[in-house]
Amino acid sequence: MPRIRFNGITKTYGDHEVIKTFSADVPDNEFLVLLGPSGCGKSTMLRMIAGLTDITAGELEFDGTVVNGTEPKERDIAFVFQSYALYPHLTVRANIAFPLLMSRFKPYHHLPVVNTLMRRRVLRDPDVDAQVRRVAAMMELTDYLDRRPRTLSGGQRQRVAVGRALIREPSMYLLDEPLSNLDAILRSQMRAEISDLHHRVGKSFVYVTHDQVEAMTMGTRIIVLNEGVIQQYGTPKEIYDSPANTFVARFIGSPPMNLIRCRLDGRSLRFPDGVTLKLPEGCASPSAPDRDVLLGVRAEKISVAPSDAVASDTMPAHIIVSEYLGAETVVAFKLGRRADQTEQDTVAKHDLQQARIPGELHLTPGADFTVRLDLTNVSFFDVDSGERLPVAVPEATR
Ligand code: ADP
Ligand code: MG
């Protein structure tokens, strides 16, 4: 619960259009990730879903009902913010129970002594206690319930913040970059915990991040956003394998997808340094013949061939940088032999390509080598617009 429908949602601040006709249908119980660079409008989208920010135009529907005018507290939503403010003077127990305390709050509870007494009474309530224990067990915080936040590690504090969002069992969870303050190990641990939580509670999650690893590992569906415009909406696999444009191709994947300019002539790919590769039988290619394209090849589809290999899928290249990572080595290279480079050929970043090769292969910067391109599953993009070109398997090779 629930199915979320974004119907042409637009948000403007003054004359700055921050979200531009955002439309998508998200089925029940998905883990939807809004992914994009800083400032692209992710938090604004999340705040509109929560009802904390007005929608300028368009409709937001939960299960077929337009909720544009619905108050935040009527939307049955839990929100975890990027900066998870815990109350330092309250115990973990009281921090987790806080939404329940608030729901029983009366105006006269503002008086300091009354406030403390009321809090103690609510926390002793068997129902509240049972709910706090359920959440604490889920977030592995049972042993910390009587501690104050400052005595906890960053990851434990983050779990308290998530736990606080879980106590009410809403129908939807909204999380805004909840892991960005954590170090790498805790981040990967919390990624697994949040995914696990999604499986256990079976509710809709909308998760905002600029981190493509979080999006790929946690999302059941991803919306890639740039400058308030949806670039692509799909499963992690669809987005990784078939990026809709060069922005998505470069934003997803580490290293990003290689984009190599070449001329497509029928089934041949002609590269600037005179090398011609042939697309293998039976694999799809854009139907419009004889045009310049950007060939998109993932780093793991490029391998090292014996240096004297001359085959229909190999090209000469030379190493610029080699990064040894243990299990694999990421090499940045330029196409063409080193000796053939002219003086003016400075190493511009855009014509460096990257390959992921086995860690035990040692390649020295400056050395010539031969790359083999797996052309069976490549992408083609328009040189000017950067849009993915539709492909088809030609009759003759089918
Ligand atoms: P993200 O979360 O993707 O980093 P935001 O949604 O926070 O991006 O912001 C998107 C754009 O909207 C930014 O250019 C930001 O400056 C602008 N913006 C956000 N909130 C406001 C506001 N309350 N008033 C004016 N501009 C805003
Ligand atoms: Mg944000």
Assign residue 57 the CATH number of its domain. Answer: 3.40.50.300
Give me ligand 1 centre to Cα 283, in Å. Answer: 43
Query: Ligand 1: which of 9, 10, 18, 212 to mutate, judged by most atoms within 8 Å of the beta carbon?
Result: 18
Place of tokens 């998505």: 248
Q: 115 and 221: one domain?
A: yes
| In contact, 386 and 245? CB cutoff 8 Å | yes
Boundary-marking domain end, from 232, 249, 266: 249
Q: Is 210 in the pocket of ligand 1 (CB under 6 A)?
A: no
Instruction: Name the residue at shortest CA distance from atom 27 of ligand 1.
Output: 13
Q: How far is the CA of 175 from the centre of ligand 2 (A)?
A: 10
> What pTM did the predictor assign?
0.89
Cα separations in angstroms, 116 against 121, 135, 269: 9, 23, 74
Residues of the chain with pLDDT under 50: none
Instruction: Say if residue 235 is in the same domain as residue 271.
Output: no
**What pLDDT score was predicted for residue 307?**
67
How buried is 64 (Cβ within 10 angstroms: 0-12 exposed, 13-18 middle, 19+ buried)? exposed
Ligand closest to 47 (CA) is: 1
**pLDDT value at position 288?**
72
Q: Is 323 within 8 Å of 329 (Cβ atoms)? A: yes
Residues 104 and 187 in one domain: yes
Residue 103: give the domain boundaries: 4-249
* Boundary-marking domain end, from 202, 220, 249: 249
C-alpha to C-alpha distance for 326 and 226, rounded to whole angstroms = 34
CA distances from 30 to 184, 206, 278 (A): 25, 8, 41
Indicate the length of the chain as a whole number.
398
Question: Which ligand number lies closest to the CA of residue 52?
Answer: 1
Q: Say how far apart CA 353 and CA 339 lie, in whole Å.
A: 18
Q: Residue 379 is part of a domain; what is its CATH number?
A: 2.40.50.140
Q: Which of 249, 278, 295 is the last residue of a domain?
A: 249
What CA–CA distance (Å, rounded) separates 267 from 278? Answer: 6
Question: Is residue 269 located within the same domain as residue 205?
Answer: no
> Residue 340 has what pLDDT?
73
What atom in ligand 1 is closest to the CA of residue 208?
A: 2
Dihedral pair phi/psi, residue 96, rounded to 5° = -65, -40
* Statement to judge: residues 222 and 82 lie in one domain: yes
How remote is the CA of residue 248 from the centroid of ligand 1, in Å? 21
Answer yes or no: do 204 and 294 share one domain. Answer: no
Asked if residue 83 and residue 221 are part of one domain, the reply reads: yes
Cβ(38) – ligand 1 distance below 6 Å: yes
| pLDDT for the residue 252 | 95
In the chain, what is the straight-line distance between the N-terminal and C-terminal CA atoms, in Å? 44
Domain count, the chain: 2
Atom from ligand 1 closest to the CA of residue 37: 3
Check whether residue 176 and residue 29 sit in a common domain: yes
Same domain, 241 and 260: no
243, 267: one domain: no
Cα separation, 388 vs 182, in Å, equals 36
Ligand 1 atom 15 nearest Cα: 39
CA of 186 to the centre of ligand 2 (A): 21
Tell whether 209 and 74 lie within a shared domain. yes
Do 290 and 367 reside in the same domain of the chain?
A: yes
CB-ligand 1 contact for 123 (6 Å cutoff)? no
